[in-house]
């Protein structure tokens, strides 16, 4: 992508994402992703009903009457975007490829995080970890992230969610909220890594898919290619059994993915490239309140 074109796209997505995060997501995001830690705030005299475990014995001894520690929720979060950049994200049947929707969602979440004074970082992954951007604050950092999201060229084609989750779990020591954004077209098993990651962090899965991926249209002979392996084959889409088998494959795949989310306790949402991702994210946020 040429520099001038990239800058135009960065500016366009900045305007759109900033407006969405300021006008729509601000309160919803804050409520859905509260700080999980507790920080010491002050001490006050013991009152009936206070937890004995909160007594500050040093202050109590100094003033010869009981005092308790008061804690406040740590509002600042560390937010990680775990972004799939595999070749399958380059597919789109309605004039918009999956990668574009991923970029818009990621940018909107990034601006929402910054407006809530959260740090944000990114891990781009294919079947390897392509790039790690450590979490920071600030508009300059956000624009750098968006430029990377729009212009990043992966070295590899495949998908390995298991590897990406394990890397993130080891790389980020402090508990964080992680948005895993992918089409989840992965032949590997990532259930165990997802469960482990969600124990240490707060994982939220966002699936981006294309409607054509859910069912085959009756168009006769069609040559299809796997963008991640380069494999090609001809299929007869006029055959009802072929279309039925494909639909069953898709449903089975979705069921396995949803089961992995459920067993791992991971909140999730699926977004089609044809639908408004804003509504889908708002529903996700509301479920977490």
Q: Is the dihedral of CA 182, 230, 154, 211 positive or negative?
A: negative
Q: What does each C-alpha distance from 224 to 46, 52, 203, 221, 233 come to in angstroms?
A: 71, 67, 33, 10, 6
DSSP state string for 129-187: EEEEEEEE-SHHHHHHHHHHHHH---S-----HHHHHHHHHHH--S--EEEEEE----S
Domains of the chain: 3-32+77-288 (3.40.50.410), 38-73 (no CATH)
- CB under 8 Å, gap of 24 or more: what pairs does 218-224 form? 218/243
Residue in the block written with tokens 């003033």? 63
Q: What is the pLDDT along the chain (289 residues), one digit of tens a residue?
A: 555 665 566 666 666 666 666 655 656 666 666 554 555 557 888 888 787 888 889 889 988 999 888 765 555 678 999 999 998 888 877 778 898 899 888 888 888 887 777 889 999 999 999 999 999 988 889 888 888 888 888 999 899 999 999 999 999 988 899 999 999 999 889 999 999 999 999 999 999 998 888 888 788 887 776 767 777 888 887 888 888 988 898 899 999 999 999 999 999 999 999 888 888 888 888 787 6
């Amino acid at each position: 992508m040429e520099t001038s074109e990239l800058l135009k796209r960065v500016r366009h997505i900045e305007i759109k994402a900033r407006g969405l995060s300021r006008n729509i997501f601000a309160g919803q995001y804050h409520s859905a992703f509260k700080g999980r830690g507790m920080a010491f705030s002050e001490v006050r005299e013991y009152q009936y009903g206070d937890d004995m475990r909160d007594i500050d014995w040093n202050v109590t001894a100094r003033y010869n009457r009981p005092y308790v520690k008061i804690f406040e929720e740590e509002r600042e979060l560390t937010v990680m975007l775990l972004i799939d950049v595999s070749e399958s994200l380059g597919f789109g049947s309605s004039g918009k490829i999956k990668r574009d929707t991923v970029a818009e969602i990621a940018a909107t979440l990034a601006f929402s995080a910054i407006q809530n004074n959260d740090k944000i970082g990114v891990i781009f992954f294919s079947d390897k970890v392509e790039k790690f951007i450590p979490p920071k604050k600030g508009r300059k950092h956000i624009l750098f992230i968006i430029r990377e999201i729009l212009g990043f060229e992966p070295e590899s084609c495949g998908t390995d969610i298991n590897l990406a989750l394990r890397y993130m779990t080891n790389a980020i020591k402090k508990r964080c909220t992680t948005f895993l954004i992918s089409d989840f077209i992965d032949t590997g098993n990532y259930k165990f890594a997802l469960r482990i990651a969600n124990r240490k962090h707060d994982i939220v899965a966002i699936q981006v898919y294309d409607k054509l991926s859910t069912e085959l249209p009756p168009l006769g002979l069609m040559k299809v290619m796997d963008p991640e392996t380069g494999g090609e084959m001809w299929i007869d889409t006029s055959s009802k059994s072929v279309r039925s088998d494909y639909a069953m494959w898709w449903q089975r795949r979705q069921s396995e993915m949803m089961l992995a989310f459920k067993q791992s306790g991971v909140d999730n949402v699926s977004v089609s490239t044809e639908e408004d991702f804003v509504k889908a994210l708002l529903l996700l946020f509301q479920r977490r309140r």
